[in-house]
Structure 1
Amino acid sequence: MYDALVIGGGPAGLQATLTLGRMHRSTLMLDSGTYRNAPVEAMHNIVTNDGRHPAEFRSIVRAELAAYATVEIRDLGAESVERLPDGTFSVALADGMTETSRAVVLATGLRDVMPDVPGFAEQWGRTVHVCPFCHGHELSGRRVAIQDSPAAGHFVAMLSPVVGAIEIVPPVTGVQMTSEGLRVSSDTGAVVVDGLFAHPAYEQAAPFAAQLGLEMRESGCIAVDLFGHTSVPGVYAAGDLAHVADLPMPMPSVLAAAYAGQLAGASVVRDAAMAHA
């Protein structure tokens, strides 16, 4: 039986695993190979990693994890998680095996739900963005469209010192890359810009919160405290799949996810120590 089983190999899961490994806790990290930031070619606004490819980032962390003898990594996902009567957990793996653990850290993230708009999914993470902190600078002095929403005014205010022209567009009906730029179509016509900021819906990327009966917030994310505790003892959650009450929304940031992973990993260690004190 492992001390902890971390599900998810993004920044939150990697950092939780590193924290657990440094405390010599037997830890299994499962990585399905599916990542929310897979479409992007570079991460930004991350100290020492600004502009680094996400795959390179993960590779560097994995090399660091190899130094810890109590850490095991498997490149496969989990199918289900069950809390057993004795308070431990049974995790069914995608290869048909089952592993048990004293604690589980959920770090499977969110999945962006692409709208039924031609070209949107193909340009997502390339010329269609959601975060001005992550991709605004790369559009310095250029033409930008912002899809109309209650937050559009805030985006205009944030991006005005960075970009050139800003156009607020109604709900987008088509996105196409042309020789002149990104053609963004709507019911009122089309504009040609260099980038589009939009806000598609999102959902939990994995079914484990529902399987475990975890408390959820209105945002659709798992309710956690600052240390990653969920409503079920022994289950922790870190990254953008989780939502701390004091924040207005889940924080889709590599740094925020790693920070949450560190706290969740530390909480696993502390809670186990307190239980045996």
Structure 2
Amino acid sequence: MYDAIVIGGGPAGLQATLTLGRMHRPTLMLDSGAYRNAPVDAMHNIITNDGRDPAEFRSIVRAEVAAYGDVEIREVAATTVDRLGDGTFEVTLADGSVVAAQNIVLATGLRDVMPDIPGFAEQWGRTVHVCPFCHGHELSGKRIAIQDSPAAVHAVAMLSAIAGSIKVVPPVTRVAPSAAGLVVTSGSTAVVVDGLFAHPAFEQAAPFAAQLELELRESGAIAIDFFGHTSVPGVFAAGDLAHVAELPMPMPSVLAAAFAGQIAGAMVVREMLMEPA
């Protein structure tokens, strides 16, 4: 029986595990090897790690986490999470084994849903982006297209101080790299730019919110308070799969995810100390 099972090996899960390990709480972290930022080769807007390869970042943090004797890391996906009658949890793993814990920290993130647009998925995270904070600076003085949407006006305002030129394009029907740049096609019209900003839909990357019948916000992210509590006692959530009411959207940020993981890990410790002996 672990004190906590952390499901997810991104920044939220790694930080939650580090926090629990430093407090000598028996903790299992499960890492499926699937990450939302896998398509990108550099993270940005992260102090001490600006421009670092996400895979290198995870490798460094995993080595730090593994130094704590009460932490176990398994490179295996969880498939189901069940809450038992006594309030503890059983987690079934992809290898068929079953593990148990008093608390669960969900850090499995969101999954971007690629639209049925030729070339879009292949260029996602390379020349097609969603976040100006993460990828805007790299397009300084260059040609930027923004797919028309309710968020387009806001994106134009943010990128206007960065781009050399900005063009808002109608719904995109095709994207393709070329020697001249990224060719963005909308119907019968094509423009050549250096980068495209778009806002595809997203969904929970794992089924655990549904399995545990957790409350969701309109965004589709798990409803949490500032401390990472979900609607089910003993279940915490951290990272972009979760959404606090004070923010307009779940935050797709490595730093925000790590912060949320630290808070969730600390809350697990705090609430275990508050439980009657």
- In the superposition, the TM-score normalised over structure 2's length comes to 0.99
8 Å Cα contact 1:146-1:167 kept in structure 2: yes
Determine if the alignment matches structure 1 residue 268 to structure 2 residue 238: no
What's 2:194 paired with?
Answer: 194
Structure-1 separation of matches of 2:272 and 2:53 = 36
Distance (Å, rounded) in 1 between the aligned partners of 2:138 and 2:178: 19
The aligned residue for residue 179 of structure 2 is 179
1:1-277 paired onto structure 2 within 5 Å: 1-276=1-276
Q: Provide the secondary structure at the position in 2 that maps to 1:231.
A: coil
Query: CA–CA distance in 1 between the matches of 2:122 and 2:67?
Result: 38
| Conserved? CA contact 1:170–1:188, under 8 Å | no
- Structure 2 CA distance, aligned partners of 1:173 and 1:272? 53
Q: How many residues align?
A: 277
Distance (whole Å) between structure 2 residues aligned to residue 188 and residue 106 of structure 1: 45
Q: Can you list the C-alpha shifts for 1:227-247, whole angstroms capped at 9, x where unaligned?
A: 000000000000000000111
Task: Tell me if the contact between 2:66 and 2:73 (Cα under 8 Å) persists in the aligned partners.
Answer: no
User: How many percent of aligned residue pairs carry the same amino acid?
Assistant: 77
The one-letter code sitting in structure 2 at the alignment partner of 1:274 is: M
Name the SS of the counterpart of 2:82 in structure 1. Answer: strand
Deviation at 1:188, TM superposition (A): 4.9
TM-aligned CA deviation for residue 276 of structure 1: 3.2
Specify the code of the residue in structure 2 equivalent to 1:42.
A
**Secondary structure of residue in 2 paired with 1:3:** strand
Structure 1: which 5+ residue stretches go unaligned? Answer: none
Q: SS where residue 172 of structure 1 aligns? A: coil
- Give distance in 1, aligned partners of 2:82 and 2:132: 39
Q: 2:43 corresponds to which letter in structure 1?
A: M
How far, CA to CA, are the matches of 1:52 and 1:244 in structure 2? 28
Amino acid of the residue matched to residue 49 of structure 2? N
Q: CA RMSD in A?
A: 0.7
How far apart are the structure 2 equivalents of 1:152 and 1:79?
Answer: 37
State the SS of the aligned residue for 2:85.
coil
Structure 1 residue runs of 4 or more that deviate by more than 3 Å after TM superposition: none
Verify the 8 A CA contact 2:83 2:90 in the aligned structure 1: yes
TM-score, length-scaled by structure 1: 0.99
> Which amino acid is the alignment partner of residue 164 of structure 2?
G
> Could you tell me how far apart the structure 1 residues matched to 2:190 and 2:218 are?
34
- Which one-letter code corresponds to 2:146 in the other structure? I
Give distance in 2, aligned partners of 1:19 and 1:243.
21
- CA drift at 1:167: 0.3
- The answer to whether the 8 A contact 1:110-1:241 is kept is yes
SS at match of 2:175: strand
